Amino acid sequence: MEILNDEKSCEATPKSTLTNSSYLFAGILMMGCGLVWLLSNYHLVGPAFMDAFFSWQMLIVAVGGWLLCTRNWTLGGVVTAAGVALLLFDVLNVYISFERLVLPLLVVVGGVACVVKALQK
């Protein structure tokens, strides 16, 4: 008969796989968003800055930053660079076609990321 209640099964397992750097990144991100929001409420930053700061492009930059904090260097760098490029295109009013330029580039970058990840192993 097998004993089911051994010492190893009673040890606490970690409830979350998030690292301290993930919590640090989330905290800094929340403080930054709150500070920008507060500055906007007192008209210390303009609406153009608010539109750029709270945009879908900045969300991509934030996701890339979080990936970098979790030490996923390749994917984090690619996502962050893509977010910054898209944000610059938006701020500079440069029109880019999603179907003709962005989507094919995303496929190429995804392929490069897969090849780099395979070569690292």
Residue 6, token pair as written in the block: 């051994």
pTM score: 0.67
Band (pLDDT 50/70/90 cuts) for residue 75 is: confident
> What does pLDDT average to over the chain?
83
- In a domain, residue 73? The reply is yes
- In a domain, residue 9? The reply is no
Full DSSP string of 36-94: HHHHHHTTSS-HHHHHHHTSHHHHHHHHHHHHHHTT-HHHHHHHHHHHHHHHHHHHTT-
- In a domain, residue 111? The reply is no
- In a domain, residue 106? The reply is no
Number of structural domains found in the chain: 1
Q: What is the DSSP letter of 13?
A: P
Domain that holds residue 87: 20-94
- In a domain, residue 70? The reply is yes
Selection from 74, 70, 72, 36 nearest residue 55 by Cα: 36
- In a domain, residue 115? The reply is no
Residue with more model confidence, 8 or 99 = 99
